[in-house]
Amino acid sequence: MATLKDVARLAGVSVKTVSNVVNGYSFVKPDNRRRVEEALEATGYRPNLGARNLRRGRTGFIALVLPELSIPYFAELAGLVIAAAQEHEWNVLIEQTFGTLSGERQALASLGPHLVDAAILSPEALQVEDFQLSVPAVLLGEHDVEVPISRVGIDNVAAAMTAVRHLISLGRTRIAAIGAHPQRGTAALRLEGYRAALEEAGLPFVSSLVVPAVNYHRADGAAAMRALLDLRNPPDAVFCFNDLLAVGAMRTAAERFVRVPHDLAIVGFDNNDESAYSSPSLTSVAPDKAAIARAAVDLLRQRADSPDLALDDVQTPFSLQVRESTVAR
């Protein structure tokens, strides 16, 4: 592999001059520039990023800390983050925490400043005291605890209200919620939105219609739905806190011969790609994932360049994708 030295020898100039050409420094004689460029071409020179970053004090990487890539929402988001990072000449390092506190702590611990320039975090269990980071970071999604980190995400309360209002507008009155979770900040906010929409419509808040979910996997949605259908007075609609839960719920409904959407309307959250193709297709709250990815990376780029910018809180847009899983009674 060719180094600057090799190129310099071939072009008959100093190493620094080659470096200047590579980095687009203006004052290089046309003649030398040509010779250097020819030598670069001839040797197929590619800068050694390790060395460059050692010298510059940057690494060229950002970390993306998320629960699990096998969860479609995070996979889709990761793809978008990678694309957005590329435009800032950043490479993305993905760390999976599997949603556990220890996994998250471990991921954070490995985020020394020599490994990454910045980090995008999507934690589920972290405590306030864990957020002692040595690099600029941004939190994806809202959390109910106050942490000294910038955030990017949608307004979860408003989004949940939109979903539940939609169900109410269809004449549904016994609306369940799947996905309550004592630790998750977003869960608390979505529950708050659910509650607010019910209240607004004068519907009672029935605690037996609120089902927790340990994880947010399909199996958890299926189990929660079983519990709901076993109630003496089952719901006529369900608001699921993510699409996987909704898919699980739909599966249980099908097994129990409960007709979706007629007997049971279902709304999900995240608008996964798969949700447009289920039968029936799933109505879902659709955060603008590309906007989230872009905003997060942009925010980090700014913080990486000037570290003491104030905290920011970027609200990205969302919409409600109405599909077959919700119709009027």
Contact set with DNA (CB under 7 A): 1, 3-5, 13-17, 19-20, 22-23, 26-29, 31-32, 45, 47-48, 51-52, 54-57
Nearest to 300 by CA among 145, 161, 116: 116
Yes or no: say if 246 and 227 are a contact pair by the CB < 8 Å rule: no
Helices (H), 44-155: 49-56, 72-86, 101-109
**Six token digits for residue 26:** 């203006």
Position 47 contacts a second copy (CB under 8 A): yes
CB nearer to DNA: give 4 or 147.
4
Residue 276 binding target from DNA, a second copy, none, CB below 5 to 8 Å by type: a second copy
Q: Is the distance from CB of 240 to CB of 284 less than 8 angstroms? A: no
Residue 44 CA, distance from chain mean position: 38
In the window 69-128, what residues touch a second copy (CB under 8 A)? Answer: 69-70, 72, 75-76, 78-79, 82-83, 91-96, 112-115
- Contact partner, 27, from a second copy, DNA, none, Cβ < 5-8 Å per class: DNA
Q: What mask, x for binding a second copy by CB under 8 A, covers residues 238 to 267?
A: ---------xx-xx--x-------------
CB of 77 or CB of 197, closer to a second copy:
77
Interface size with a second copy, residues (CB under 8 A): 45
Contact by Cβ (8 Å): 191, 160: yes
Q: Can you tell me whether residue 120 is helix, strand or coil?
A: strand
Q: Which of 32, 53, 173, 319 binds a second copy (CB under 8 A)?
A: 53
Q: Strand 150-153 to strand 118-121: parallel, antiparallel, or no bridges (unpaired)?
A: unpaired
34 belongs to the binding site for a second copy (CB under 8 A): no
Edge-to-edge order in the sheet of strand 210-212 = 210-212, 175-180, 237-240, 265-269, 283-287, 318-321
Residue 91 touches which of a second copy, DNA, none (CB < 5 to 8 A by kind)? a second copy
Tokens of 295: 């905003």
Q: Name the residues that contact a second copy, by CB under 8 A.
A: 1, 46-51, 53-54, 59, 68-70, 72, 75-76, 78-79, 82-83, 91-96, 112-115, 134, 218, 222, 247-248, 250-251, 254, 273-274, 276-279, 281
